[in-house]
Amino acid sequence: MTTDPDYLMPGDFVWGVATSAYQVEGAVAEDGRLPSIWDTFSHTPGKVAGDGTGDVACDHYHRWRHDIALMKTIGVDAYRFSIAWPRVRPNGDGPVNAAGLGFYDLLVDALLAAGITPYPTLYHWDLPQALQDRGGWTVRDTAERFAEYAGIVTAALGDRVTQWATLNEPRCAAWIGHLEGRHAPGISDISAAVPASYHLLLGHGLAAQAIRAQRPGAQVGLVNLHGACEPASARATDVAAAARLDGHANRWWLDPIHGRGFPEDMLRVYRMDVPSKAGDDETIAAPLDWLGVNYYTPSVVADDPEGPPPYAREVTAQAGAPRTLLDWEIRADGLEQVLLRLTREYGAQRILVTENGSAWADTVALDGRVHDPERLRYLQEHVASCARAIQLGVPLAGYFAWSLLDNLEWADGYRPRFGLVYVDFATQRRVLKDSGAAYADIIRTQRARSSDGPVE
């Protein structure tokens, strides 16, 4: 298990792993935490495969010391985790819950003591249910409450935390949660989804202001899910559908934060305008210190005139193309393509791959180990894609594998396993998979070769 000898990452390249609060923490009713929209959604029969919930998940809330030890075993530089808003400010506004904030205080201290840099994300989809009851992301007030929460957390942790992400994948929170209805809060209405998308990005901008007001030297980023969109055929209808899906999945989230406003062509597709006020454009386009990229798979697109906006659907590219348990096509070159686009079209100055991974139905073998050759290969191919992107001039500064642990994969439940570490959910036993050992080897090899000088 060795890394590709033909590439060398920069010596200061950040190697990390990632998780999110609702997927791993459990302890949903402990120490003052109140329900989030995902507690409500997952407890609604039929919404999550196998009726899985985050009630216990990986019990990271109690087992974080052991999980940090696993990170040390792998040898990562950084841990990207999310902070649960309903733990810190359970009603979304009002009093701060000292016990909930204290959990993250302890976690940050322990990470730093282990030589691991914390990269917290302030919102990874777990909106306090109390705010949803008042309109959630469809109303402007939620963006303003988010900025308050961001300021509270930064004031408490910002003396030790320097790297902050405001939102994780607002695309999914808006479109899957408010248009497709497959994620919390389970709404299927374009007239809710467009305002939600707008207020998520407004919340990002307001939160960036709040973070910097508390800690002027803080490094602030935003994490988006990206993938290349290509037509399923040469037919004009499919070509146009691919352009619409690209607008829906990529440009809608990139243009506003880069000062270009919301794409006019997509406003025509949605047949709606955004609920803007004077000054919002500048707030949404708050300067970014880094741009986070989550990449899993490309999109092959066919026209779907009878479907919901953007009237496009993803289809299987070709029979025999490698695909994961979730039926996502595996194409490592797609990551390189995304990174190059962000650099050349949007002028990104610093990029982090904040999530990248693959789901499989892993099991513990008779030898007590977890052999996951598909994930191991996926990991190696995508890290190599990152290296190629750097060689082409992409300012890529780090890679975070998704995920440290097998966890609740949202509406897909517990069957898809993304972890570098296997979790027996009945006993909470952890087992480092072959892919986790391979990632440790990649990190060790790159560090050793970096200290030896460039490859000839």
State the catalytic residues: 169, 355
Q: Using CB atoms within 10 Å of the CB of residue 105, give its burial: 0 to 12 exposed, 13 to 18 middle, 19+ buried.
A: middle
Would you give the DSSP letter of residue 43? T
Distance CA 134, CA 218 (A): 31
Q: Could you tell me if 247 and 197 are in contact, meaning their C-beta atoms sit under 8 angstroms apart?
A: no
Q: Could you tell me if 183 and 176 are in contact, meaning their C-beta atoms sit under 8 angstroms apart?
A: yes
- How many angstroms separate the Cα of 451 from the Cα of each of 134, 415, 438, 448, 454? 55, 41, 20, 5, 9
Q: Could you tell me if 85 and 123 are in contact, meaning their C-beta atoms sit under 8 angstroms apart?
A: yes
Terminal C-alpha separation, the chain? 22
Indicate the pairing of strand 219-225 with strand 290-294. parallel
**Upstream peptide bond of 233 is cis (omega within 30 degrees of 0):** no
Q: What is the CA radius of gyration of the chain?
A: 21
